[in-house]
Amino acid sequence: MLKVSIVTISFNQASYLERTIESVLNQDYGNIEYIVVDPGSKDGSRELIKRNESRISKVIFEPDDGPADGLNKGFAAATGDIFAFLNSDDILYPGAVSGAVRYFAAHADVDVVSGHARIIDPDDQVLRRAYSDRMSPIKFVYLGAILIQPSTFFRRRAFERTPGFNSKNHVSWDGELFFEMALAGCKFDLSEEIWSGFRLHERSITVSKKLEEKGREKMNELLRRVTGRGRNNWDNGWEVAYRAWRHLRNPRDTLERVLRGPIFGRSLD
């Protein structure tokens, strides 16, 4: 039976953390290694983690240099065949882990598989659905491919082909990791199952404008790695084209956006 290592990074999100932890511990798959990393929460998160410590495989209480560094610490301690990471405000739906394992068992050549998600509010109410795209480096840098992070699982071998999470990236460390995997030649695929609840709330980075500003800087950096040059006016046209192509290739996500609004920069009023 394949071992699945799941890492949660926790920092001052006690309002949601217990739901996150329970969503992992209540999975129906029997070989999960759950690792929780907290660099120093002051809102009761550590006490909550300690109450569940007997059911958590490993707890890491030590300072770090941000979320990406915390994830690197967690995966350095991981011993599984399949990896995933779940932020302390998101949740896994029942059967998510067993679904991912079944997919990998049936597709030995696949390194990374993404399912889909429900976008949820602070009270677990569903705002809309979100559907992952097919990944490639060029589509990613032109905003033509988005993977739903908590619904994405990857083999250890895929993670080991990358430098790990970029600890200097405090906005889109998850997307940069998937970009590194794609650049390294890892094979990505999609499952049609909905595996996670991706939570939006007032403090979430997805809602914040910070994502748009800092994310653009990071995307320009990754664009240079793909094209070997800095961004120019032609890239604006390519971005429009790739984003339009994404909307055509992923019509379910496009329809959700039209009917129920965007995910990024969304107002929760």
Give pLDDT tens digits for 47-81: 999 999 999 999 999 999 999 999 999 999 999 99
Fold of 4-260: Spore Coat Polysaccharide Biosynthesis Protein SpsA; Chain A (3.90.550)
73 touches 37 (CB < 8 A)? yes
CA 97 to chain centre: 14
Look up the pTM and report it: 0.94
pLDDT value at residue 2? 96
What is the percentage of the chain residues whose pLDDT exceeds 70? 95
pLDDT band at 267 (very low <50, low <70, confident <90, very high): low
Minimal CA–CA distance to 77: which of 51, 99, 52, 59? 59
Q: 266: Cβ–Cβ under 8 A, 6 or more apart, which residues?
A: 127, 200, 206, 207
pLDDT in tens, 218-263: 999 999 999 999 999 999 999 999 999 999 999 999 999 999 988 8
Q: Cβ distance 145 to 163 under 8 Å?
A: no
- Phi, psi (rounded to 5 degrees) for 95: 85, 0
Closest CA to 59 of 49, 51, 47, 44: 49
Higher pLDDT, 40 or 201: 40
Nearest alpha-carbon partner for 193 in 260, 259, 101: 101
CA atoms of 261 and 257, how far apart (whole Å): 4
> d(Cα 54, Cα 92) in Å, to the nearest integer?
20
